[in-house]
Amino acid sequence: MKFNTKTIHGGQKPDPAYGAVMPPIYQTTTYAQSTPGGHKGYAYSRSHNPTRNALENALASIENGNFGFAFGSGLAAIDAILKLLKPGDEVISTNDLYGGTYRLFTQIFEDFGITFHFVGMKNASNIENYVNANTKLIWVETPTNPMLNIIDIKAAANIAKKHGVLLAVDNTFATPYLQQPLDLGADIIMHSATKYLGGHSDVVMGALVVKDKDLANKLYFIQNASGAICGPQDSFLVLRGIKTLHVRMQRHCENGKAIATYLATHPKVEKVYWPGFKEHPNHAIAKAQMRDFGGMVSFTTKGNNYAEAIQLVEKLKVFTLAESLGGVESLAGHPASMTHASIPKEDREKTGVVDSLIRLSVGIEDETDLIADLQQALG
Ligand SMILES: *Cc1c(COP(=O)(O)O)cnc(C)c1O
C-alpha cells in the first residue's frame, strides 16, 4: 500500500459490531465478562480500548512499523521511552531540541540518575565521540525547533547499531509523509500527535511506533503500568486527522516554500531558515531523507530588534500569534519571548534564537493571503 492509501486504510477495518466505517468512540472503562477472564480481548480501558487500538494500528501502519502506542501527550510518550532506562545509563541527545523534552530530561530524569549529553549533530559523526559503555539511547529531533537544522538519521542509526544503542527519532516536524525513520534504521519513532498528525489544533496527544516485538512488549508494559494513555474521544480525533495527513502536508509544503521564497527576497529580512534552500547547511541530507521540506519556516529581521519583532507578530492578522504548530491554520511565534524565554539570552543566542527570530507554522490557507499578511506586517 502506498502512503496516501495507508493514511486512510492502514491497519483499519470496519467495526465488527455494526460495520461502522469509522471506529465508534468506545467511551467505556470496562467490559462485561461471561466468566472471570472470559472477555473479547478488552478488560479495562487503561490496558486496551478499541478506539485507541484502531488509532495505534493506523500509527504503526503510516510509520512502516509493527506496533503503535498512543499517550496523553507527546511528553508522556517521551517519558515512556526514558523509563526503558536505569540509573547509570547515558543518553546522547541533540543540543537543539524541543524545550519540553530538554526540561523532562534535565529536571526529571537527571534526578533518577540518568546522564544526558547534549551535542551538536549537524555532523552526525560527532555522536560517536560521546558513546561509552553506559550509553543506551541516542535522541534525534529533525528538523529541529525552531532553527530547522537537519540531522542525518541513517548516519545516526549506523552509529547506534555499531554500539548496540537504541535510536529514537522525534518525527513531529516531518511526519511520516516527509520522512520514515524506521526505514532509515531508527528503533523508536516519537510524535507529538498534537501537531501535524491531529492537524486541527484540537487535541493534545503523543505516539510511539516501533518494529521490534521485544521493544514493543517493554513499551506496552510501561504504557499500561504508568498509565499515561489518551482517551477514546481524542483517539477518534487523531485517527480522523491522519486520514487527511498527506493532503494537508502537501499544501503545508507548497505554502512553506512560497513563504520562505517570499521572505528571502524581502529587504527587511536578514535570514530565512528553511531546509529547502540550497544554501541550507544540510540541504543535501534533507533532500535525501525527506520527500519535501515541510511547512515550518523561521526568519530574522535586519537590525535584530526585540521590540520590532514583537510589533511584527502583533500586526499579523491571518497568522495567529500562538504557541504550537502543525494545524491547518497559520501560526506565528516569537521564541525569544515565548517558547525560549526561560533560556538565558546568551545561551539561546548560541543556537541562533536571537531577539528578532520569528517562527512560522505555515497553514493550508491561500498562499496569497499569507504573503499579503506578512507584507503588511513587515511594511
Ligand atoms: C510539541 C512537541 C513536543 C511535545 O509534545 P506535547 O504533545 O506538547 O506534549 C515534543 N517534540 C516536539 C518537536 C514538539 O513540537
Please write the tens of the pLDDT for every residue from 82-141: 999 999 999 999 988 888 999 999 999 999 999 999 999 999 999 999 999 999 999 999
From the CA atom positions of the chain, what is the Rg in Å?
21
CA of 34 to the centre of ligand 1 (A): 42
Annotated catalytic residue: which of 26, 79, 98, 355? 98
pLDDT at residue 101 in the model: 94
pTM of the model: 0.97
Domains 3-242 and 245-378 are alike in CATH topology: no
Taking the C-alpha atoms of residue 352 and residue 368, their distance in angstroms, rounded to an integer, is: 29
Annotated catalytic residue: which of 152, 170, 292, 355? 170
What are the domain boundaries of the chain? 3-242, 245-378
Is 220 labeled as catalytic in the residue annotation? no
Q: CATH: 3.50.50.60, 3.30.70.270, 2.30.30.140, 3.90.1150.10. Which one for 245-378?
A: 3.90.1150.10
Taking the C-alpha atoms of residue 337 and residue 331, their distance in angstroms, rounded to an integer, is: 15
pLDDT at 232 over 80: yes
In CATH terms, the fold of domain 3-242 is Aspartate Aminotransferase; domain 2 (3.40.640)
pLDDT at 341 over 90: no
Question: Nearest C-alpha to atom 11 of ligand 1 is from which residue?
Answer: 98
pLDDT, tens digit, for every residue of 13-59? 999 889 999 999 999 999 999 999 999 999 999 999 999 999 999 99
Is 195 labeled as catalytic in the residue annotation? yes
